[in-house]
A and B are shown apart, each in its own frame.
Chain A
Amino acid sequence: MAPDPSRLDLLQGTLDLLILRALRSEAMHGWAVSERIQQISQDILQVNQGSLYPALHRLEHRGWIKAEWGISELGRRARFYALTAAGRKQLEIETENWSTLSAAIARVLRMA
């Protein structure tokens, strides 16, 4: 599939933030996470499937999310990820960082 110029590749590290944000209100499986991100960003942010799962496993390894087997929409087994308390804290920190960073970049762009 040819790259779609209207869709943005994700910056390194921002994927973690998006995953944590997507999982804030409810537990969901990997595919749903990518769908949710795409949906909310109105199809602008495209999650590379090949990096989604390593990111999920990384976050699980760090203890920010935890996984449990559940049943997907298709009636098959799927791993559902949910935010842990540590993950919730991390989300706050990263959201804060991101706002600071994006505000700073916006200011630089306006001034330059």
Chain B
Amino acid sequence: MLWKDVVLRLRALLFRRRMDEELEEELQSHIQLQAWKNRHSELDPAEAMRLARLQFGSFVCATEECRDQRGISSIEIFAKDVHFAFRMLRKSPGFTAIALLTLALGIGANTAIFSIVHAVLLRPLPYADPRQLVLVSEARPQAGISGLGMSYAPFTELQEGSHAFSAIAGLGAHALVLTGYGEPSEVSTVVVTSEFFSVLAAEPLLGRVFIPEDGRRGAAAVVVLSENLWRNRFGADSGIVGRSVTLDMRPYTVIGVMPASFHTPFVNQANQVWIPLAQDPLYSVWMTKPPGEHWMAVIARVRSGISATRVQAELDTIGARLAKEFPAEKGWAIRIEPLQQVITGDVKLPLLLLLVAVGLVLLIACANVANLLLSRATSRSKELAIRIALGAGKGRIARQLLTECAILGMLGGLIGTLVAYWGVATLVPLLPPSLPKFHSVRVDGWVLVFAFVLSLATSLVFGLAPVLSVAGADPHKELGEGARAGESAGPRRARALLAVGEIALAVVLLTGAGLLMRSFAQLTSVNPGFEPNHVVKAMVSLPQFQYSTPQQWVAFSEELATRLEAQPGMQDSAIAGPLPIVDCCVTLDFQIVGNPPLQEGAADTANYVPVSPRYFGVMGIPLVRGRLFNESDSSSTPAVALISEALAKRYFPNEDPLGRHLMFGFPVNGIVSREIVGIVRDIHDVSLGKEPGPMLYVPFAQAPLYGAEVVVKSTLSSSAVVGAIRTVTHGIDKNLPVTDIAPLPEILNASVAQPRFRTLLLGLFAAIGLMLAAVGIFGVISYSVSRRTHELGIRMALGAEPGSVLGMILRETLALTLIGIAIGVSGALATARLITHLLFKVPPYDPVTLVLVSLLLVAVGALAGYIPARRAMRVDPVVALRHE
């Protein structure tokens, strides 16, 4: 019905002339027929015609009414309104330019931020039926630990015993050394069980993906390459499938290439390979070990139609069985969480915060444009009053004003979209690297739809004020005597209200930005507990098949350390396991020898680092008591450990930990008893924002790893240091890659990329908001001054001092500003707790921020009011009164 109506209306519009002609012919035909009948009553033809016309009545009225039936009018009116709106906008280019600029800024910023939110939060993960995908993790509710990976044995139990999942797979990631094609280099290696690709329902670009046979132990070593690696390293060789590549000095047969559009969950690398778990030099050993190490991330696809509660019930049953079977599984529970939630969970709040902030900027922009429109409506009130007096309906005028607003909004949106394109291009390189990158951030169809809807909604919001002011318009008053003296109270109050609203919104925005800035300042002024300046790190990892025994690792690391220290200017070199903040972290359970055993399921944990003797000197971590490690601590001497102050305080509150023994160890070297020989200062191991926790250090020689970070403190330039590390490493073995080279200060800097990004953007939005609000106050006050020129003239003529006029205007401004600040501060107090999670060492109700923001706004308000107030002061009474 509606569609047919539209068709008829369109036909009426497009074939208007023909339809008009036909209508005229039809009506003429009627009159002819009537005249023909009249002639039967024996009148002469001319008289009969005249009578027929009389009988018909107004030809024009009938035509008009028939036309109305066609429904042509509303489209025609719209076309006329659009035409008129363009003419009005052209007539006042200053107004149009300011309004469009404000709107384009607001809509553009919103669209740009929305394109990030859309790509990161709203778009589903790029897998088939992504809502069926879950992360299966282990949690130890008693210890408040959750979201950990699984060991291999529980995983196989799940694989065999669960009916809720249609497919389940495990994955882990590390790096292997690719040799043979160009320079030796590390490639990000995803170690997967054979169902990995079928869980994600991913299809290869070339060849095939893994089948269950590939996952068996003893099967041929196979590898799937990423499209990126295939293009960059293998020149997009179409015959790659079936060829052999060398990873960690061992041949793998390429069976397939995955398209660049395929992303491995949690692993953010473009150059990637996938190998079956059984073929991995590092993780394959874990397939036969008893559970206890939560190293494998497990993803699964839930069968359609099975609720989360049913899945959980099944997992609880399996979990209970596991706890009986394996002692290490006691106290652990298996949990599921939607994969999308796991991946986007961390960035949701900051991104939504930015979206809200930029929405507030748009609201301020709307208030500004509404203000401009109101001022114009007042100057146009005479035009409108005349039209009402001449018979135009108020509805008709409101409709025309709304059309004008819609045109303004659409044009603003159009320019805003260009702003958004530019904004996205600027923002993308600034995006923190930790942001999930399943979809590229760009202005696409949905984002354009968003911009369009936003423009329309915006037009309605800022169009409301002038339309309402028409509804209250009274032509008698407008056209009557004395209409010139000033404007009526209605619009003036509306404008003051808008200015107050703008200030309030700006206060909320600035408070948010202020809190984030203070928090960021706190975060970056945190003393990490070590001295990062002049320290460069690099990673050297040993191919597993060549260097397979701990003895070889120790020998290599000692050789490396000796040769590095021999280099000029490189005396301060050390080797360590996971570096603080850089790699974070290996957490191990430990037991205090001599203490009663803990409750079942509970455990004490600490972060664990094997280090070479010079590590503490290089990193500037001071010794509190006891001794540091030295060259004589080796695999043949008693096992020793250093603990951090936090560990000492928490676990040895009333006794001396020196001389006590702790049982712990990285499983490769086994869990052994180690004597505490010293206590060192705490460091921020996890991140700057997280309080230092308990730490365990052991001599690298007593707990070696197959690869390690090299740290060098040197006054040499970092490129010289890196060059020396390369030369020394390749002097030992020319096939060893040296990777992940970076100065520590840079890494610390990058570790706060996310808070920096949101602080920067929110600060920018707050600045724009403040600027717009200042323009808003300025507009309201200067308009009020210009409307009141007459009144001010009388005041001056009656003896008011210029200073008192200035004071009056300023008081008016400050009153508006103070009301706005009061509302804004209450708004900020009501909403600030929503961002508590994003704040570091700053309470959400931080009085310093609130006071500073209020003072800033008072200053800005005073400045914005001062300029028009000075103009008011200079009003010449003679000119002002002659004007009347």
**Which A residues fall within an 8 A CB radius of B?**
1, 29-32, 35, 48-51, 53-54, 57-58, 61, 63, 72-74, 76-79
Determine whether B549 belongs to the interface, using a CB cutoff of 8 Å to chain A.
no
A30–B26 contact, CB under 8 A? yes
Of B30, B62, B65, the residue contacting A31 (CB under 8 A) is B30
A74–B71 contact, CB under 8 A? no
- Binary A-proximity of B252-283 (CB < 8 A = 1, otherwise 0): 00000000000000000000000000000000
B65–A50 contact, CB under 8 A? yes
Determine whether B32 belongs to the interface, using a CB cutoff of 8 Å to chain A.
yes
Of A32, A54, A73, A79, the residue contacting B62 (CB under 8 A) is A54
B33–A74 contact, CB under 8 A? yes
B34–A31 contact, CB under 8 A? yes
Determine whether B616 belongs to the interface, using a CB cutoff of 8 Å to chain A.
no
- The docked-state distance in angstroms from the alpha carbon of A30 to that of B65 is 15
Determine whether B57 belongs to the interface, using a CB cutoff of 8 Å to chain A.
yes
A78 to chain B, nearest CB (A): 4
A72–B33 contact, CB under 8 A? yes
Of A31, A35, A50, A74, the residue contacting B61 (CB under 8 A) is A50
Given known A-B contacts A50-B65, A73-B33, A78 and B26 have beta carbons under 8 A apart: yes
Given known A-B contacts A53-B62, A61-B71, A78-B26, A31 and B55 have beta carbons under 8 A apart: no
23 A-B Cβ contacts within 8 A?
A: A1-B51, A1-B54, A1-B55, A29-B30, A31-B29, A48-B57, A51-B65, A53-B23, A53-B27, A53-B62, A54-B62, A54-B65, A54-B69, A57-B70, A61-B69, A61-B71, A63-B4, A72-B29, A72-B33, A74-B29, A76-B32, A79-B22, A79-B26
Q: Which residues of B contact A78 (CB under 8 A)?
A: 26, 29-30, 33
Q: Which residues of A contact B27 (CB under 8 A)?
A: 53
A54–B66 contact, CB under 8 A? yes
A57–B30 contact, CB under 8 A? no
Determine whether B867 belongs to the interface, using a CB cutoff of 8 Å to chain A.
no
A49–B30 contact, CB under 8 A? yes
Determine whether B78 belongs to the interface, using a CB cutoff of 8 Å to chain A.
no
A102 to chain B, nearest CB (A): 27
Classify chain B: how many residues form its interface, as a range. 20 to 34
Closest to B69 in A: A57
Of A1, A48, A74, the residue contacting B32 (CB under 8 A) is A74
In B158-191, the 8 Å CB interface with A consists of none
- The docked-state distance in angstroms from the alpha carbon of A54 to that of B37 is 22
Q: Which residues of B contact A72 (CB under 8 A)?
A: 29, 32-33
- The docked-state distance in angstroms from the alpha carbon of A56 to that of B4 is 18
Q: Among A58, A61, A63, which residue has the most Cβ atoms of chain B within 10 A?
A: A61
B9 to chain A, nearest CB (A): 10
Determine whether B691 belongs to the interface, using a CB cutoff of 8 Å to chain A.
no
Q: Among A1, A50, A63, which residue has the most Cβ atoms of chain B within 10 A?
A: A50
Which applies to chain B's interface (DSSP): helix, strand, loop or mixed?
A: helix
Closest to A48 in B: B57
Q: Which residues of B contact A76 (CB under 8 A)?
A: 29, 32
Closest to A35 in B: B37
Q: Among A53, A74, A76, which residue has the most Cβ atoms of chain B within 10 A?
A: A53
Determine whether B25 belongs to the interface, using a CB cutoff of 8 Å to chain A.
yes
A7 to chain B, nearest CB (A): 12
Q: Which residues of B contact A30 (CB under 8 A)?
A: 26, 30
Q: Which residues of A contact B30 (CB under 8 A)?
A: 29-31, 49, 53, 78
Q: Which residues of A contact B36 (CB under 8 A)?
A: 73-74
Determine whether B68 belongs to the interface, using a CB cutoff of 8 Å to chain A.
yes
A30 to chain B, nearest CB (A): 5
Q: Which residues of A contact B54 (CB under 8 A)?
A: 1
Q: Which residues of B contact A48 (CB under 8 A)?
A: 57
Determine whether B8 belongs to the interface, using a CB cutoff of 8 Å to chain A.
yes
A58 to chain B, nearest CB (A): 5
Of B23, B57, B69, the residue contacting A58 (CB under 8 A) is B69
- Binary A-proximity of B51-95 (CB < 8 A = 1, otherwise 0): 100111110011001101111000000000000000000000000
A65 to chain B, nearest CB (A): 12
| Total cross-chain contacts (CB, 8 A) | 70
- The docked-state distance in angstroms from the alpha carbon of A76 to that of B33 is 10
B149 to chain A, nearest CB (A): 67
Given known A-B contacts A49-B57, A63-B4, A78-B26, A54 and B33 have beta carbons under 8 A apart: no
B78 to chain A, nearest CB (A): 19
Q: Which residues of B contact A79 (CB under 8 A)?
A: 22, 26, 29
A31–B66 contact, CB under 8 A? no
Q: Which residues of A contact B51 (CB under 8 A)?
A: 1
Q: Which residues of A contact B32 (CB under 8 A)?
A: 72, 74, 76
Of B25, B37, B55, B70, the residue contacting A77 (CB under 8 A) is B25
A49–B56 contact, CB under 8 A? yes
Q: Which residues of B contact A51 (CB under 8 A)?
A: 62, 65
B65–A49 contact, CB under 8 A? no
B453 to chain A, nearest CB (A): 32
- The docked-state distance in angstroms from the alpha carbon of A61 to that of B29 is 21
Closest to A30 in B: B30
- The docked-state distance in angstroms from the alpha carbon of A51 to that of B61 is 9
Q: Among A51, A54, A74, which residue has the most Cβ atoms of chain B within 10 A?
A: A54
Known: A31-B33, A48-B57. 10 other contacts (CB 8 A): A29-B29, A49-B30, A53-B26, A53-B62, A53-B66, A54-B62, A54-B68, A57-B66, A57-B70, A79-B22
Q: Which residues of B contact A31 (CB under 8 A)?
A: 29-30, 33-34
- The docked-state distance in angstroms from the alpha carbon of A53 to that of B302 is 67
A61–B55 contact, CB under 8 A? no
Q: Which residues of B contact A77 (CB under 8 A)?
A: 25, 29
Q: Which residues of A contact B70 (CB under 8 A)?
A: 57, 61
In B1-36, the 8 Å CB interface with A consists of 4, 8, 22-23, 25-27, 29-30, 32-34, 36
Given known A-B contacts A29-B29, A72-B29, A74-B36, A50 and B62 have beta carbons under 8 A apart: yes
In B570-616, the 8 Å CB interface with A consists of none
A68 to chain B, nearest CB (A): 12
B23 to chain A, nearest CB (A): 8
A50–B57 contact, CB under 8 A? yes
B482 to chain A, nearest CB (A): 46
Closest to B68 in A: A54
Closest to B34 in A: A31
B26–A49 contact, CB under 8 A? no
Closest to A51 in B: B65
Q: Which residues of A contact B68 (CB under 8 A)?
A: 54
Q: Among B26, B55, B62, B70, which residue has the most Cβ atoms of chain A within 10 A?
A: B26
Closest to B64 in A: A54
A49–B66 contact, CB under 8 A? no
Closest to B26 in A: A79
Q: Among B37, B56, B61, B68, which residue has the most Cβ atoms of chain A within 10 A?
A: B56
- The docked-state distance in angstroms from the alpha carbon of A29 to that of B4 is 25
The 6 closest A-B pairs by CB, nearest first: A57-B69, A54-B65, A50-B57, A31-B33, A49-B56, A78-B29
- The docked-state distance in angstroms from the alpha carbon of A72 to that of B27 is 13
- The docked-state distance in angstroms from the alpha carbon of A77 to that of B27 is 11
B546 to chain A, nearest CB (A): 86
Q: Which residues of A contact B4 (CB under 8 A)?
A: 63
Q: Which residues of A contact B23 (CB under 8 A)?
A: 53
- The docked-state distance in angstroms from the alpha carbon of A22 to that of B25 is 22
Closest to B63 in A: A53
Q: Which residues of A contact B26 (CB under 8 A)?
A: 30, 53, 78-79
- The docked-state distance in angstroms from the alpha carbon of A30 to that of B30 is 7
- The docked-state distance in angstroms from the alpha carbon of A49 to that of B51 is 13
- The docked-state distance in angstroms from the alpha carbon of A58 to that of B67 is 10
B163 to chain A, nearest CB (A): 57
- The docked-state distance in angstroms from the alpha carbon of A92 to that of B420 is 60
A9 to chain B, nearest CB (A): 13
B30 to chain A, nearest CB (A): 5
- The docked-state distance in angstroms from the alpha carbon of A78 to that of B34 is 13
B462 to chain A, nearest CB (A): 37
- The docked-state distance in angstroms from the alpha carbon of A47 to that of B34 is 13
- Binary A-proximity of B395-431 (CB < 8 A = 1, otherwise 0): 0000000000000000000000000000000000000
